[in-house]
Amino acid sequence: MAERKVVPGTLDLLILRTLLLGPLHGHGIATHIQRTSDDVLQVEHGSLYPALHRLEKNGHITSKWEVKDRGREMRMYRLTPKGRKQLAVEQGRWEELARAMARVLKPV
């Protein structure tokens, strides 16, 4: 199994993209990223939290404590309209980068 750390600077993008699907707690975000990338992208769970708090401070996401299944209280994060715009910007930037990489790396 090939495990990869997320590319630096892309964690915010991954979080925002995950939250586009609906509100989720920290653990849910981590497992979602891992699963959807077929376990290629390994997020060290702890590193998620500074990113989440920074996004919240910047107003891209909000958080709220909610009682979830089996009575567990979880802190749920959801995307704000500002976050949605930020997602579009960052996704565009990433795709540009990916295209550029692809062009450089294509077989001669």
Partner 1 sequence: MDNRDDELEREIRSHLELEAEERQVRGMSAADARYAAQRAFGNVTRTREDVRAVWTRRWLEELVQDARYAVRALRNNPAFSAVAILTLALGIAAATSIFSIVRGVLLQPLPFKDADRLVQIIENVPAAESFSGRAMRIASMNQSEFDWWRTEARTLSHMAAIMPESSTVLTPEGTERLAGARVSPALFAMRGVSPVLGRWLRADEERPDASVVVLSEATWRRHFGGVPSVINRTITLDGQPHTVVGVMPEAFGGEAFWMPFAAGPQRPGTVTFIAVTSRLADGVSLDAAAAEANVLGQRLRGVPPETGAPPRFDVVREQDRIVAAVRPALRMLVAAVAVVLLIVCANVANLLLGRGTSRGQELCVRGALGATRLRVVRQLLTESVVLSLVGGVAGVALAYASVSFVRAWGVIEIPARFRFGLGPLSTTILPRVDEIAVDPAALAFAVGVSLATAVAFGLMPALHLSRADGEVASSGLNIRAGISSAHTRAGQVLAGVQMALATALLVGAGLLVYSFVNLSSLPLGFDRDTQIFQLVSPGEYRPSRKVALASEVLERLNSLPGVTAAGFTNMAPPLDPDDDESTIVPAGWPLVDRRNPGEENRSEQRDITPDYLRALGVRLVEGRWFDARDTAGQPRVMLVNQAWVRRFSPDRSPVGTMASSYTIVGVVEDMRLRMDSGRMPGGPPIVEMEKAVFMPLLQEMPPAEVLDRPGRMDMGGSGTTGGSYGWSFVLRARPGPLTAADLRRVIRDVDPGLAVEDLTTMGRVFSALTARPRFYASVMALFGAIAAVIAAIGVYGVLAYSASRRTREFGIRLALGATPRQVLRLALRQGVIITAVGISAGVIAALGLTQYLGSMLFGLTPLDAETYLIVAIGFAAVSMFASYVPARRATRISPIAALRYE
* Residue 45 sits in the site that holds partner 1 (CB under 8 A): yes
Contacts of 58 (CB under 8 A, 6+ apart): none
Cβ nearer to partner 1, comparing 35 with 99: 35
Cβ nearer to partner 1, comparing 17 with 77: 77
* Residue 26 sits in the site that holds partner 1 (CB under 8 A): yes
* Residue 57 sits in the site that holds partner 1 (CB under 8 A): yes
Residue pair 63/56 in contact (Cβ under 8 Å)? The answer is: yes
Residue pair 38/76 in contact (Cβ under 8 Å)? The answer is: no
- By CB under 8 A, which span of 4-12, 71-79, 83-91, 96-104 interacts with partner 1? 71-79
CA 46 – CA 56 distance, rounded (Å): 16
Among 10, 23, 31, 94, binds partner 1 (CB under 8 A): 31
CA 97 – CA 102 distance, rounded (Å): 9
